[in-house]
Amino acid sequence: MNPIKLLTLTSRSYMIIFLVLTVSFFGVFYFVIQKEVFKSTDEVLYNRKMHILDQLKKNGGKVSPEVFQYSDFLFEPATTTNPLKDRYSDTLIYETVDNEWDEFRKLISNVELNGTPYRMEIIIARLETHEIVESIIQTLAVVFILMAGAFYFTTRYFSKKLWKPFYNTLQQLNNFEVDQSKDLELKPGRIEEFMALNKSIQDLTDRTRSTFINQKQFIENASHEMQTPLAITQSKLELLIEDPQLTEHQSEIVQTLINSTQRLARLNKTLLLLSKIENQQFLEKESVQLKPLVQEILTNFEEQQENLHINIDQQIQESVSVRGNRVLVDLLLTNLIKNAYVHNVAHGSIDISVSDHRFTISNTSGSEAIPEPKLFQRFYKQSTNKESWGLGLAIVKKICEINQWTISYSKLEARHTFTVSFLEKSAQ
Amino acid sequence: MKILIIEDEIDLLSSLVSFSEKENYHYDIAKTYSEASERISLYDYDCILLDINLPDGNGLQLLETLKNVNKTDGVIIISARNSLDDKIKGLNLGADDYLTKPFHFPELNARIQAVIRRKKFDAPHTLSFANIEVDLQLHSVKVNNNIVNLTKKEFDILQHFIANKNRVISKTSLAEYIWGDHVDSVDSFDFLFVHIKNLKKKLKQVQASVEIKNIYGVGYQLLEI
């Protein structure tokens, strides 16, 4: 089911209720008005009858037609002696002027004049039913349209006003990031429900953030605490390898220990680095020239390049620079370039292109496309390389995030491509 | 050459002491801020190794003390906190270098020597060992006054060897010195091997009287022959 706006939904429901009400109003109106019309018409007929009888009685049954002014009645001797009961009924009389049947109200009454029974019929033109219906419909339609319009605009206006704190809260929540120190700015307002909502949200985000900060702090502290024991181990091992009495076998063991210690130290360093990036500890920004940086990084991988016979294609525009922290830009590009080497195949290739605001690197690879959600996850590794922790791309992502750059990944014809757009997201 | 080791971790301190003995440095030790403060005011050192997290004070204040008494001792901060703030603060307060734990001894050694060299007015820009002379400014190497053409990495390796002459340098330490943190150590050992092989060949061609000895696959050692 498609989501629907609350305002639309309530408006729609109200409109339906309005319509139903209006139709029922119509029915009620019709009956009430018809009844009133009949009642007053019948009253007029009755009055007329009494008036005619009065005249007849006064003049002993002989009245010239002028006295009655209008010839709207029939007066004839009754053939039967019916009970003296007035009968009101509707009748249609064909009107030749406009060629239609007009509606009349008729009173049939048996009266007695001078002891003789007479039958009396009086007619009076009546407001026609369809006219009543028409006027009611017209009136109600106008009322309905006016009311609906008024309702539509007022609800829109008030809803917007009423729901403003809600949308404000929603937007704040959308922009909320647990790893950023920016607090939610929930406007207090005076609507109880929204106040309750805001309070719950505030509590929830505070709790989430404090949990997150505690965890981060934990990793950071743990990593820091590990530095000293690692330093001790490493220093002792380095002193040990200088011992002339060390046998070859012992040396091999020491070498393994040194390697493991080194790995641990580097993992620790990387974790610390990640938390430092997250903590925004690389504040100093400058304009970093990309070409010399890329070439400097590439020299660090010369050996891999020669070893794997990798063909490097560089399309680097001169004097393209990006604004950022030098250490982080270096780290970003190093990790991407390293990635391109680590996942490459012998006699493969790496294409690097740098143009305004964009760094693209693509490489041949023996491995499958990386599932996007896992791509930048910490400790997700695809290679079986024991020396890899799967932190490189997590760092890349983090650096992009804090600089509001975008990174995208695609796999096309056995080539993995990463593109970093240095335009800040907000400026796009 | 006299150095002061300020470190509160006994085990690390003892490693640093062994290291200093092997390098034939004269050394004093201080395990607390107050001890360090006292030593600094009483004696002059060529280089101070300063752990800034001390039980009874912040090592950074020692830098201010040094500044206040107009001492020009070289200072290398050794910190478990790889914090940029501390680093900037430390360097602004007059420290000469900043090293994060864990560190490699050959790296520390190279930095100590660099600090001491910088502190001397008439410091030579050259390192020499046996008949090899390395010009640090021109990045050139001469053996018996003949220029040896080395690649940048070979030059770095040789320089590191000379700074740590006669010592065993572990392969991990050497690899990290050359490539930094970013290279896988498994591959880099092979690459290192190739570089050292080339370096050996080039040195042999010009009859350098040195030997780069492979120590059971653990590391390398530069010796005079």
Domain segments of chain A: what residues?
6-135, 192-278, 286-427
Class of the CATH domain delimited by A286-427: alpha beta
Q: Is A279 exposed, middle or buried (0-12, 13-18, 19+ CB in 10 A)?
A: middle
Q: Which two tokens stand for residue A257?
A: 């220990």
Cβ neighbours of residue A239 closer than 8 Å, sequence gap 6 or more? B15, B18, B19, B22, B105
How far apart are the CA of A198 and the nearest CA of chain B, in angstroms?
A: 37
Helix (H) / strand (E) containing A38: helix A6-58
Fold assignment, A192-278:
Helix Hairpins (1.10.287)
- Percent over 70 (pLDDT), chain A: 91
Give whichever of A4-8, A389-393, B176-180 has the largest mean pLDDT: B176-180
The domains spanning A192-278 and A286-427 adopt the same CATH topology: no
Q: How high is the pLDDT of residue B141?
A: 92
Those residues whose C-beta lies under 8 Å from the C-beta of residue A87, and which sit 6 or more positions away, are: A107, A108, A109
Contacts of B106 in chain A (CB under 8 A): 238
Report which secondary-structure segment, H or E, holds A222: helix A192-240
Interface test with B, best of A242, A258, A298, A335 (most B CBs within 10 A): A242
User: Residue A269: which of B19, B172, B181 has the nearest Cβ?
Assistant: B181
Summarize the confidence of residues B53-68 as an average pLDDT. Answer: 88
Classify the phi-psi angles of A2: left when phi > 0, otherwise alpha if psi is within -120 to 50, otherwise beta.
beta
ipTM > 0.85 for the complex: yes
User: What is the count of residue pairs from A and B with beta carbons less than 8 Å apart?
Assistant: 124
pLDDT value of position A70:
63
Q: What is the pLDDT of residues A231-281, one digit of tens each?
A: 999 999 999 988 889 898 998 899 889 888 988 888 888 888 888 887 777
On the question of pLDDT at B186 being above 60, the answer is no
- For residue B49, give how far its alpha carbon lies from the nearest alpha carbon of chain A (Å): 14
- Bridge partners (DSSP) of residue A371 are none
Position A224 pLDDT exceeds 50: yes
What is the arithmetic mean of pLDDT over B32-40? 92
Please, which pLDDT band fits residue B221 given cuts at 50, 70 and 90?
very high
- Beta-carbon separation of B179 and A232 below 8 A: no
Interval A113-154: pLDDT, tens: 777 788 888 888 777 777 777 887 888 889 888 988 888 888
Assess contact for A251 and A243: CB atoms under 8 A.
Answer: no
> What gap in Å lies between CA A351 and CA A337, rounded to an integer?
10
Domains of chain B: 2-119 (3.40.50.2300), 126-224 (1.10.10.10)
Q: pLDDT confidence of A214, banded at 50, 70, 90? A: confident
Q: Which two tokens stand for residue A229?
A: 């024991």
| Mean pLDDT to the nearest integer, A64-88 | 71
**pLDDT one-digit tens code per residue, A157-176:** 888 888 888 888 888 888 88
pLDDT at A180 over 60: yes
pTM of the predicted structure, to 2 decimals? 0.67
Q: What is the pLDDT of residue B119?
A: 81
Q: Quick: pLDDT tens for B82-118.
A: 666 777 888 888 889 999 888 999 999 999 999 988 8
Output the pLDDT for position A428: 43
Whether A342 has its CB under 8 Å from any CB of chain B: the answer is: yes
pLDDT of residue A384 exceeding 60: no
Instruction: Give me the pLDDT at residue A427, please.
Output: 46
Q: Does A282 touch chain B if contact means CB atoms closer than 8 Å?
A: yes
Round the CA-based radius of gyration of chain B to a whole number and report it: 19
In residues, how long is chain B? 225
The percent of residues in chain A predicted with pLDDT above 90, rounded, is 12
User: Smallest Cα–Cα separation from A169: which of A190, A188, A155?
Assistant: A188
pLDDT at residue B18 tops 70? yes
Task: Give per-residue pLDDT as tens, B125-152.
Answer: 888 898 999 998 888 999 988 899 999 8
Query: What pLDDT does B183 receive?
Result: 59
pLDDT class for A385, splitting at 50, 70, 90? low
Q: What is the mean pLDDT of chain B?
A: 88
Give the residue with greater pLDDT, A383 vs A286.
A286
Cβ–Cβ contact A245 with B under 8 A: no
Asked if residue A423 has pLDDT above 60, the reply is yes
How crowded is residue A257: how many other Cβ atoms within 10 Å of its Cβ? Answer: 16
Query: Does residue A22 have a pLDDT over 90?
Result: no
Residue A67 pLDDT grade (very low, low, confident, very high; cuts 50, 70, 90): low
Q: Which of A230, A239, A334 sits opposite B101 (nearest CB)?
A: A230
Q: How much is the average pLDDT of B171-196?
A: 80
Cβ-based neighbours of A425, under 8 Å, separated by 6 or more: A404, A405, A406
- Return residues 389-408 of A near B (CB < 8 Å): none
Q: Is the pLDDT of residue A353 over 90?
A: yes
**């030059």: which residue's tokens?**
B155
What average pLDDT score do residues A350-377 get?
Answer: 83
Report the gap between the CA of B167 and the closest CA in chain A (Å). Answer: 7
